[in-house]
Amino acid sequence: KTFAKKTMATQALTTLGRLAGAVGVASYILPQIIYDVDGGERAVMYDAYRGILPDAIGEGTHFKIPYLQKEHIMSVRAEPKEIKSRTGTKDLQMVNIALRILSRPQEKKLPEIFDSLGVNFNDRVLPSVCNEVLKATVAKYNAEELLSLRSKISLEIKTELEKRCQTFGLDLVDVAITHLVFGKEFATAIEAKQVAQQEAERQQWVVEKAEKEREAAVIRAEGEAEAAMIVNDALTESGPGLIEVRRIDTAKEIAGSLAISRGVTYLPSASSGGNNMLLGLNAAHQ
């Protein structure tokens, strides 16, 4: 019985060792013959004899020939990338502009993209293409137009980028200008322009004021000339009587002004033929 027990234990250990060996072999061999492609990804297969296979491999678990085939996983999702550039406008103003791009590769052209650009195709294509398109497009517009026509310029940049990226097998989902800052020279020019505009408006106001004053002087002169003509005609018709009437009116105005003054007192004449008097009283001697 003891011998039988030892034999059974030996067999069990042997079986366990074989299972462990099989698991170890499987864990080494399986990654060499199968691979997984996750969602939003495609695999480009390189074959040691045929080179890069013409068709991309979709999602799921697939088999490959170990040591002869090697898969390369590539993303087909729309991925964002920001490109910054410093360029000049039509009126020679420097501007710092940032462009946000959403792009993805064309699935049918993935083998060609991998063959010519590799896995990091975005980093190799977009910076150079975007800088060239940005510089060519911004140079068509003045600095002020970049602000007022921002959506139009963004659409123009997107259209031109789509044409350029198609040659590399890339599709553009969206293009937007996210950052637009002018240099100090532009701010100085804007300030100088505002000062010049304000000075021009002030000079225009001065000219208009002088014109109004000239018109007023002409009107006053015409009025005085017309009044002089009226007085002359009256003197011609009435003689010295008009002057006497004006003297009496002036005397009444002076008397009325003095009568309401606090330091002036009216003293009528005792006789009917005497002269009336306006006596000035000093408040300090009352």
Bigger pLDDT: 27 or 254?
Answer: 254
Residue 183: phi and psi, rounded to 5, are -75, 175
Average pLDDT over residues 229-254: 69
Lowest average pLDDT, out of 7-11, 105-109, 199-203, goes to: 7-11
Backbone angle region of 117, left / alpha / beta, with phi > 0 → left and psi within -120 to 50 → alpha: alpha
The closest alpha carbon to 101, from 150, 162, 40, belongs to 162
Q: CB-hemisphere CA count at 13 Å for 167?
A: 7
Q: How confident is the model at residue 195 (pLDDT cuts 50, 70, 90)?
A: low
Which one of 11-20, 218-227, 273-282 scores highest in mean pLDDT?
Answer: 218-227
Rounded mean pLDDT of the chain? 78
Bigger pLDDT: 281 or 233?
Answer: 233
Q: Are 199 and 191 in contact (CB under 8 A)?
A: no
pLDDT tens digit sequence for 149-171: 888 888 899 899 999 988 899 99
Q: Is the pLDDT of residue 213 over 60?
A: yes
d(CA 50, CA 34): 19
CB burial of residue 14 (10 Å; 0-12, 13-18, 19+): exposed
Bigger pLDDT: 17 or 280?
Answer: 17
Lowest average pLDDT, out of 91-105, 216-230, 233-247, goes to: 233-247
Between CA 107 and CA 118, with CA 112 as vertex, the angle to 5 degrees is 95
d(CA 34, CA 32): 6
Contacts of 129 (CB under 8 A, 6+ apart): 161, 164, 165, 168
d(CA 162, CA 174): 10
The closest alpha carbon to 232, from 224, 192, 22, belongs to 224
The closest alpha carbon to 46, from 74, 73, 71, 75, belongs to 71
Bigger pLDDT: 52 or 209?
Answer: 52
Q: What is the pLDDT of residue 276?
A: 56
How distant, in Å, are the alpha carbons of 28, 52, 65, 156 from that of 59?
23, 18, 18, 36
Q: 10 Å Cβ neighbour count for 145?
A: 16
Q: What is the pLDDT of residue 286?
A: 42
Handedness of CA 66, 69, 73, 35 (dihedral sign): negative
Count of all residues that appear for the chain in the document: 286
Three-state DSSP at 253 gives helix
pLDDT tens digit sequence for 19-61: 766 666 556 667 778 888 888 889 999 988 888 898 888 888 8
Q: What is the pLDDT of residue 284?
A: 46
Predicted TM-score (pTM) of this structure? 0.54
The closest alpha carbon to 42, from 96, 121, 139, belongs to 121
Could you give the angle at which helices 241-259 and 184-238 cross, rounded to 10 degrees?
A: 120
Q: Is the pLDDT of residue 97 over 70?
A: yes
Q: What is the DSSP string of 77-123?
A: S-EEEEEEEEEE-TTS-EEEEEEEEEEEE-GGGHHHHHHHT-S-HHH
Q: Are 119 and 131 in contact (CB under 8 A)?
A: no
Lowest average pLDDT, out of 37-41, 141-145, 146-150, 253-257, goes to: 253-257
